[in-house]
C-alpha cells in the first residue's frame, strides 16, 4: 500500500502542529492555506499560553488548571480531553521553548509567568505581548524545515471549497480553488484535518482576521458534519473600536495591573487626570473583590455592558469605558506590554502610558465548532478538525491564554490520529467521488460568475454582521434571536440575486468572498437558532429571561446538522462527560 | 454644509501583463478611517470618483493589526502597512500603489514568496531533535531575550526589501529581513549549531556583501527591528567564516 496522504487545511497553530507531528512520524502532508501560513490569524494572540508549571511556588498544578478551565467554561466542556490538554500543557511550553520562542524570562533565566483571567495563579507564559506571533513563527520554522526536506508541500493561496466524499460516506480528498488563477482542482487524501479557525466574520466586525469566516467549517457542515455548541461566542471585554475591525486589547493589560473604570457621574467634564480616585468607579473591583479586573471574559463583558447601557455611564455618553495602565511605570509597561500598547498608539493615536485607553467588548472567539470525538475526528470518517474550528476544549466560555494551548494540543492529537486512520482505511472504489464533487463545485462557480442581480456581496455581509452583533452577542432575547434568523433567511434569499461587479478569472477577490458569504449565512443560522433553543444562561450565553444555568435540561452539547430545508438545521443534544469534576455553581464574587 | 470626503488615487492592473491605470475615488469621511477601511468601502460600492463602475480592489490583508505582514503597499510613495495608515494622517489625494520590486499579481497584490525561499536557504529554524517530551529548554537570561525578541518580531512584510537600493534581480540580494533572522538563530543556544551553514549561505553572490548600507531598511521597518545592527554583526561573522573556510582549505 502506498504511503498515506494527509491534507491539512489551515496553517495556524493547530494546522502547523498537526503537520509537524505527521512529518515527524514519516508521513507526507499537503498543507493548504488561503494566506501564506506565516500570516495566519494565530499571530494575533497577544497575552500568553497557559501551563501549570508552578514556577512561582504558588502550589499550582495541572489539576487546578483543569478545574479552572472546566469551571470557567461553565461545565459544558467534555472533561476527558480538557484534562488531557491541561496535563500536556507544561510539556508543550517546554517544547516551544526548545524551538526558540523568545519567552519572557526571570532573572535566573527561567520562564516567566503572569496571571490571566479566571485563575488565581501565575500560569501564563508569554513572549512580550505578541505570544501568538512568536508561537506561530516557531511552528512555521519547523514546518519550513520539514518542507525543505520534502515532507511537506504547501499550497498557499488556495482556498478549501469542499471535501470529496465517496459513496460510503468516507472522505477521499478535497476540492480547492487557486485564488490567483481561479483554477478549481481536487486533491486526493486518505485523511483530512481542518484547522481553519473561528468565524468572527459572521459578526461583521470582530477581533478576528479577514480569513476567519467559518466558511470551511460551514462547507463541511453542509456536507453532513455536526456543528457543536455554535451558540457559544466569546465577546472579549476589551477591544478598540475601529472602522475596519475591532482590535483586541489583550487581557494581559489587566494581568499586569490594568484597571477598568468609569467616572461615577454621567457627563463628567473634568480632564481624566483631574478626576480624583473617589470619583472613579472601579466597578469590576467593587463587584468581584476576589478576582477584580481579572474575572473571566463573559463576566467582564456583561459588567461593562451593564455600566454603559443600564447605568448610562459610558465615557462621553459613548459605549466605552476606561482601561487604565497609567499608574504603572513606563519601563515596566514597555518591558511587558510594549506590543499591545503600540497597537493602541498606532491605531488610536493616544499613548496609553499617559492616557487611559477607551475600550468596549467585541466578538472575539468561537467556542463552538465542528463536533469531534476524543480523537479529533468529525462524524465524517476521515475528516478531522483541530483548533478554533472545533468545539472541544472551552465549553461555554474560554479562559484567557487557553486558546494557544488548545490549538497546539488539538493539532498534536489530530495529526497522529489522522495518520493512524489513514494507514488502516480500505482502498477507495472507483475515483472516490472526485469527478462528481468537481462537477458540483464547477457548477456553483459558473452560476455565481454569471449570476444576474442587484445585490452586492459585501453589503449583504454588512447587514449580516449588524444583525448578528445586535441580537446574538452579549445579551440575548428569544425575540431578537428569531429576528436574527429571519434576517439571515432573508439574506440567503437575496443572495440568489448576488451580482459580482468583477467577473474576471484572475485573482478575483469578490468571487472568493461571495462563495464564503454563502457559507457564512448558512452557519449564522446554526449560531442564532442554537442560541434560541438554549433557554438558560451559561458562560458566554446569557439570556435575561432565563438568567440561571439549567443543568437538568441543558448540561448538554448542542449538535446541529444541516438539512437544506427552509426550517434550518436540525438540533439534537448529547450528554456532557463530567466524570472528574461534579458541576457546581459558577461565581467569581469570591474564591471558588 | 459640505460633507467631508476622502480622495484617493489607486493604481490598478488587471493582471501581470495588463497595462496599469490610475483610478480616482471619493468617499465620505468617517473618524478613524484607515486605507483598508477605504478599500472595504470601495468593495461595497465599486464606483470611481467619475461615477464609472469598476471592480473591488485586489489586495492582500488579514489581521489588520500590523502583525501578519500582509497588507504592505506604497502609500503616498512610502512602503508601509495599509492597516496602520490612518487617513487623517495622510495627505490627499492618497496615492496607493503596489510594492514595485515584487512580481505583480493584480492591483495592489504582489508575490513576496521570495522571502520565504530565502528563509529556507539560510535554515532559519532551531533544529530540535523532535517534538516528544525532552524536558525544558536551554536557560536564557532576560538580557539575551531582550536582544532576540525584537528580531523575532519580523512580520515578513518585505518593506525593507522594497526600499533597499541593492534589492533587485541583478544582485539577487537576500535583503535585510533574512539577515536579521540569521542573527536571531545564530544567537540561539541550540540554533547556533547551524551557524556556519547560515553564514556560508550569506557569503556568495546575493549574500551580505551586496548590502550598500543605505540604511533605508531600518527606517522603513514597521516593527522597528534593528536591521542595520544585525547586518553589521552578520557581516563580520561572514568575513570570519570566510577566513576560517579559506584557511581550512
CA atoms within 13 Å, Cβ hemisphere of A468: 35
Q: What is the pLDDT of residue A290?
A: 93
Q: Do A145 and B69 touch (CB under 8 A)?
A: no
- In terms of domains, do B56 and B153 share one? no
Domain extent, residue B9, equals 5-110
Q: What is the pLDDT of residue B94?
A: 98
> Would you give per-residue pLDDT tens digits along chain A (592 residues)?
568 999 999 999 999 999 999 999 999 999 999 999 999 999 999 889 999 999 999 999 999 999 999 999 999 999 999 999 999 999 999 999 999 999 999 999 999 999 988 889 999 999 988 999 999 999 999 999 999 999 999 999 999 999 999 999 999 999 999 999 999 999 999 999 999 999 999 999 999 999 999 999 999 999 999 999 999 999 999 999 999 999 999 888 998 999 999 999 998 999 999 999 999 999 999 999 999 999 988 999 999 999 998 899 999 888 899 999 999 999 999 988 887 898 899 998 889 999 999 999 999 999 999 999 999 999 999 999 999 999 999 999 999 999 999 999 999 999 999 999 999 999 999 999 999 999 999 999 999 999 999 999 999 999 999 999 999 999 999 999 999 999 999 999 999 999 999 999 999 999 999 999 999 999 999 999 999 999 999 999 999 999 999 999 999 999 999 999 999 999 999 999 999 999 999 988 877 6
Cell of B6: 476622502
Of B83, B110, B137, which residue is a domain's last?
Answer: B110
Question: A49 pairs with which residues across the strands?
Answer: A125
Residue from A300, A353, A332 nearest A116 by CA: A300
- In terms of domains, do B80 and B106 share one? yes
Interstrand relation of A122-125 and A357-366 (parallel, antiparallel or unpaired): unpaired
B113 CB within 8 Å of a chain A CB: yes
Q: What is the pLDDT of residue A335?
A: 86
Q: What is the pLDDT of residue A176?
A: 98
Assign domain A241-362 to its CATH architecture.
Answer: Alpha-Beta Complex (3.90)
Which position among A259, A297, A398, A525 bears the catalytic label? Answer: A297
Q: What is the pLDDT of residue A1?
A: 52
Q: Do B40 and A458 touch (CB under 8 A)?
A: yes
Q: What is the pLDDT of residue B2?
A: 59
Q: What is the pLDDT of residue B31?
A: 86
Residue A94 Cα, gap to closest chain B Cα (Å): 5
Of B79, B110, B141, which residue is a domain's last?
Answer: B110
- In terms of domains, do B51 and B121 share one? no
Partners of B112 on chain A (C-beta within 8 Å) are 36
What's the residue count for chain A? 592
Computed from CA positions of residues A385, A388, A390, A395, in that sequence, does the dihedral angle turn out positive or negative?
A: positive
Residue B231 has pLDDT above 80, yes or no: yes
Q: Considering only CA atoms, give the Rg of chain A.
A: 23
| B60, B61, B149 ranked by CB distance to A127: nearest | B149
Which chain B residue has its CA at the smallest distance from A40's CA? B68
Q: Number of folded domains in chain B? A: 2
- Report domain A433-553's class: mainly alpha
Residue B1 has pLDDT above 80, yes or no: no
How far are the Cα atoms of A4, A51, A400, A585, B241 from residue A72, in angstroms, in the given order? 39, 16, 10, 11, 54
Partners of B66 on chain A (C-beta within 8 Å) are 343, 346
Q: Considering only CA atoms, give the Rg of chain B.
A: 21
- In terms of domains, do B233 and B128 share one? yes
What are A340-343's contacts with CB under 8 Å, separation 24+?
Answer: A340/A46, A340/A129, A340/A248, A340/A249, A340/A250, A340/A252, A340/A253, A341/A129, A343/A240, A343/A247, A343/A249, A343/B65, A343/B66
Residue B70 has pLDDT above 90, yes or no: yes
Alpha carbon distance A59, A44 (integer Å): 31
Residues 6+ apart with CB under 8 A from B91: B76
- Whether the CB-CB separation of A287 and A303 falls below 8 Å is answered with yes
pLDDT digits (tens, 9 = 90+) for B146-201: 999 999 999 999 999 999 999 999 999 999 999 999 999 999 999 999 999 999 99
Alpha carbon distance A360, A305 (integer Å): 8
- In terms of domains, do B142 and B74 share one? no
Alpha carbon distance A327, A191 (integer Å): 53
Alpha carbon distance A464, A513 (integer Å): 14
Q: Annotated catalytic, A538? A: no
How far are the Cα atoms of A263, B109, B170, B213 from residue B164, in angstroms, in the given order? 50, 20, 13, 9
Q: What is the pLDDT of residue A528?
A: 98
Which chain B residue has its CA at the smallest distance from A45's CA? B67
- In terms of domains, do B128 and B78 share one? no
| B32, B46, B84 ranked by CB distance to A243: nearest | B32
Which chain A residue has its CA at the smallest distance from B40's CA? A244
- In terms of domains, do B241 and B122 share one? yes
Q: Do B62 and A130 touch (CB under 8 A)?
A: no
pLDDT digits (tens, 9 = 90+) for B44-68: 999 999 999 999 999 999 999 999 9
Residues 6+ apart with CB under 8 A from B44: A456, A458, A459, A462
Residue A142 Cα, gap to closest chain B Cα (Å): 6
| A107, A242, A248 ranked by CB distance to B32: nearest | A242
Tell me the residues of chain B between 22 and 41 that have a Cβ less than 8 Å away from chain A. 30-34, 36-37, 40
Which H helix or E strand runs over B119?
A: helix B113-121
B47 CB within 8 Å of a chain A CB: no
Please report which residue ranges of A310-433 form alpha helices under DSSP H. 330-348, 403-423
Residue with cell 472522505: A171
Partners of A148 on chain B (C-beta within 8 Å) are 120, 123
Amino acid at each position: 500500500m502506498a504511503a498515506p496522504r494527509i491534507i491539512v487545511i489551515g496553517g495556524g497553530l493547530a494546522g502547523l502542529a498537526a503537520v509537524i507531528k505527521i512529518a515527524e512520524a514519516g508521513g507526507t502532508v499537503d498543507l493548504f492555506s488561503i494566506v501564506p501560513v506565516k500570516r495566519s490569524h494565530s499571530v494575533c494572540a497577544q497575552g500568553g499560553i497557559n501551563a501549570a508549571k508552578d514556577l512561582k511556588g504558588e502550589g499550582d498544578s495541572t489539576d487546578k488548571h483543569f478545574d479552572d478551565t472546566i469551571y470557567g467554561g461553565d461545565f459544558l466542556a467534555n472533561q476527558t480531553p480538557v484534562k488531557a490538554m491541561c496535563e500536556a500543557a507544561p510539556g508543550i511550553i517546554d517544547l516551544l521553548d526548545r524551538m526558540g520562542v523568545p519567552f519572557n524570562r526571570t532573572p535566573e533565566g527561567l520562564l516567566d509567568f503572569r496571571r490571566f483571567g479566571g485563575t488565581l495563579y501565575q500560569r501564563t507564559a508569554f513572549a512580550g505581548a505578541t505570544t501568538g506571533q512568536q508561537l506561530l513563527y516557531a511552528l512555521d520554522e519547523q514546518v519550513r524545515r520539514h518542507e525543505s526536506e520534502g515532507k511537506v508541500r504547501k499550497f498557499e493561496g488556495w482556498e478549501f471549497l469542499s471535501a470529496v466524499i465517496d459513496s460510503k460516506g468516507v472522505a477521499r480528498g478535497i476540492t480547492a480553488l487557486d485564488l490567483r488563477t481561479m483554477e478549481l482542482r481536487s486533491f486526493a487524501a486518505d485523511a483530512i484535518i481542518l484547522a481553519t479557525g473561528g468565524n468572527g466574520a459572521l459578526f461583521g466586525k470582530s477581533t478576528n482576521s479577514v480569513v476567519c469566516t467559518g466558511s470551511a467549517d460551514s462547507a463541511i457542515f453542509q456536507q453532513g458534519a455536526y456543528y457543536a455548541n455554535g451558540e457559544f461566542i466569546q465577546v472579549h471585554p476589551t477591544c478598540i473600536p475601529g472602522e475596519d475591525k475591532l482590535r483586541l486589547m489583550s487581557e494581559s493589560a489587566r494581568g499586569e495591573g490594568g484597571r477598568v473604570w468609569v467616572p461615577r457621574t454621567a457627563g463628567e467634564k473634568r480632564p481624566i487626570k483631574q478626576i480624583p480616585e473617589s470619583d472613579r468607579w472601579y466597578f469590576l473591583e467593587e463587584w468581584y473583590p476576589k478576582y477584580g479586573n481579572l474575572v473571566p471574559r463573559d463576566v467582564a463583558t456583561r459588567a461593562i455592558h451593564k455600566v454603559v447601557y443600564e447605568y448610562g455611564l459610558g465615557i462621553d455618553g459613548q459605549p466605552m469605558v476606561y482601561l487604565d495602565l497609567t499608574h504603572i511605570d513606563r519601563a515596566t509597561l514597555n518591558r511587558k506590554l510594549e506590543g499591545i500598547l503600540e497597537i493602541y498608539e498606532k491605531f488610536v493615536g493616544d499613548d496609553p502610558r499617559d492616557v487611559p485607553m477607551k475600550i468596549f467588548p467585541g466578538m472575539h472567539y468561537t467556542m463552538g465548532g465542528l463536533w469531534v470525538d476524543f480523537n479529533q475526528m468529525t462524524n465524517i470518517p476521515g475528516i478531522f478538525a483541530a483548533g478554533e474550528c472545533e468545539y472541544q476544549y472551552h465549553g461555554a466560555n474560554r479562559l484567557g491564554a487557553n486558546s494557544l494551548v488548545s490549538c497546539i494540543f488539538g493539532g498534536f492529537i489530530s495529526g497522529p490520529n489522522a495518520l493512524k486512520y489513514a494507514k488502516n482505511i480500505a482502498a477507495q472504489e472507483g475515483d472516490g467521488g472526485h469527478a462528481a464533487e468537481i462537477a458540483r463545485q464547477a457548477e456553483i462557480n459558473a452560476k455565481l460568475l454569471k449570476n444576474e442581480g442587484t445585490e452586492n456581496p459585501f453589503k449583504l455581509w454588512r447587514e449580516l454582521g449588524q444583525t448578528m452583533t445586535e441580537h446574538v452577542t452579549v445579551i440575548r432575547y428569544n425575540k431578537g434571536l428569531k429576528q436574527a434568523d429571519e434576517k439571515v433567511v432573508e439574506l440567503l434569499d437575496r443572495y440568489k440575486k448576488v451580482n459580482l461587479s468583477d467577473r474576471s478569472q484572475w485573482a478575483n477577490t469578490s468571487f472568493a468572498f461571495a462563495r464564503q458569504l454563502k457559507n457564512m449565512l448558512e452557519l449564522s443560522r446554526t449560531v442564532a437558532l442554537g442560541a434560541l433553543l438554549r433557554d438558560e444562561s451559561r458562560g458566554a450565553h446569557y439570556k435575561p429571561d432565563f438568567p440561571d444555568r439549567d443543568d437538568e435540561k441543558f448540561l448538554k452539547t448542542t449538535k446541529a446538522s444541516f438539512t437544506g430545508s427552509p426550517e434550518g438545521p436540525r438540533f439534537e443534544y448529547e450528554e456532557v462527560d463530567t466524570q472528574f469534576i461534579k458541576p457546581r455553581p459558577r461565581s467569581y464574587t469570591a474564591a471558588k | 454644509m459640505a460633507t467631508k470626503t476622502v480622495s484617493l488615487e489607486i493604481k490598478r492592473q488587471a493582471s501581470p501583463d495588463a497595462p496599469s491605470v490610475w483610478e480616482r475615488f471619493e468617499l465620505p469621511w468617517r473618524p478613524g478611517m484607515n486605507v483598508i477601511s477605504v478599500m472595504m468601502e470601495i468593495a461595497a460600492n465599486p464606483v470611481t470618483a467619475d461615477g464609472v463602475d469598476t471592480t473591488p480592489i485586489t489586495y492582500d490583508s488579514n489581521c489588520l493589526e500590523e502583525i501578519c505582514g500582509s497588507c504592505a503597499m506604497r502609500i503616498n510613495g512610502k512602503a508601509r502597512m495599509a492597516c496602520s495608515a490612518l487617513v487623517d494622517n495622510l495627505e490627499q489625494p492618497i496615492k496607493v500603489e503596489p510594492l514595485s520590486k515584487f512580481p505583480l499579481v493584480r492591483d495592489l497584490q504582489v508575490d513576496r514568496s521570495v522571502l520565504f525561499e530565502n528563509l529556507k536557504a539560510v535554515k532559519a529554524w532551531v533544529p530540535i531533535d523532535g517534538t516528544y517530551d525532552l524536558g525544558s529548554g536551554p536557560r536564557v537570561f532576560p538580557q539575551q531575550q531582550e536582544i532576540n525578541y525584537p528580531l523575532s518580531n519580523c512580520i515578513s512584510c518585505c518593506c525593507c526589501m522594497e526600499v533597499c537600493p541593492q534589492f533587485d534581480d541583478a544582485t539577487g540580494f537576500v535583503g535585510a529581513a533574512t539577515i536579521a533572522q540569521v542573527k536571531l538563530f545564530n544567537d540561539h543556544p541550540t540554533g547556533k549549531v547551524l551557524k556556519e551553514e547560515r553564514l556560508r549561505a550569506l557569503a556568495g553572490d546575493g549574500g551580505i556583501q551586496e548590502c550598500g548600507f543605505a540604511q533605508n531598511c531600518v527606517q522603513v521597518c514597521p516593527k522597528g527591528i534593528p536591521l542595520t545592527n544585525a547586518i553589521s554583526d552578520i557581516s563580520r561573522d561572514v568575513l570570519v567564516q570566510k577566513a576560517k573556510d579559506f584557511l581550512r582549505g
